[in-house]
Amino acid sequence: KNQVEQSPQSLIILEGKNCTLQCNYTVSPFSNLRWYKQDTGRGPVSLTIMTFSENTKSNGRYTATLDADTKQSSLHITASQLSDSASYICVVSPSRAGSYQLTFGKGTKLSVIP
Amino acid sequence: EPEVTQTPSHQVTQMGQEVILRCVPISNHLYFYWYRQILGQKVEFLVSFYNNEISEKSEIFDDQFSVERPDGSNFTLKIRSTKLEDSAMYFCASSNGTAIVTDTQYFGPGTRLTVL
């Protein structure tokens, strides 16, 4: 069964600090991996999308990395801000003709405190 | 910036009743999706819709569910006879279809469905 596992489940960091969130997936064959940010009670917002041939993708203070061989991805957040407090979700799209279905992880709940 | 909108934001219904959740996707988008998220759980794919027909659906999307694009702007999810376990946040999403595999799916704010 296709799985997306994330760690840690939750994380508390001080404002201004960096952090790294992890994602392991078993989706195969694999097309692309996405990171989404979800504020409480809101819909997910796309941060990055990487195909299997990409190793890294940046979006402002967010940098995602991908190792398709080990089926691991990370999301690095630099100089965290209070507004970064949210759930960060790793999402994988399988490589299957005609399928646009996304498989979501449970997310890492990040709390940035002053 | 264009966004996906959903109504209502919160729907409370009695078990066995029919509900219709409404979505207005981004205007030039061609692909539409419904997802659900049970409280504290991960987001789960329900169905994708393109060219006025279902292109893919998950095991969750059984005969109790249906989708429709009744006009040029709305995209609806109908649950015929709601069950307690249908209580969840339902998200609509849309994508423009220019690079289908890596299309960004834009999510709406969600409708919280509570079945009593």
Q: For residue A87, what are the CA distances in angstroms to A66, B66, B72, B84, B94?
A: 19, 30, 33, 26, 21
The whole-number average pLDDT for the span A18-25 is 97
More confident residue, A28 or A60: A60
The whole-number average pLDDT for the span A41-45 is 89
Burial B73-88 (b: 16+ CB within 10 A, else e): eebebebeebeeebbb
To the nearest whole angstrom, how far is the Cα of A99 from the nearest Cα of chain B?
7
3-state secondary structure string, chain A? Answer: CCCEEEECCEEEEECCCCEEEEEEECCCCEEEEEEEEECCCCCCEEEEEEECCCCEEEECCEEEEEECCCCEEEEEECCCCHHHCEEEEEEEEECCCCCCCCEECCCEEEEEEC
Task: Answer yes or no: are the C-beta atoms of B47 and B65 closer than 8 Å.
Answer: yes
Pairs of CB atoms within 8 A across A/B: 60
Taking any CB pair shorter than 8 Å as contact, residues of chain B touching chain A are 4, 31, 33, 35, 41-45, 48, 55-56, 58, 89, 91, 93, 95, 100-110
Specify the amino acid at residue B90: Y
A-chain CB neighbours of B91 within 8 Å are 43-44
For B42, the closest of A45, A95, A107 (CB atoms) is A107
Residue contact B56–A107, C-beta within 8 A: no
Q: pLDDT category, B61, cuts 50, 70, 90?
A: very high
The whole-number average pLDDT for the span A66-85 is 95
pLDDT digits (tens, 9 = 90+) for B24-51: 999 989 999 999 999 989 999 999 999 8
Nearest CA in chain B to A88: B42
More confident residue, B62 or B102: B62
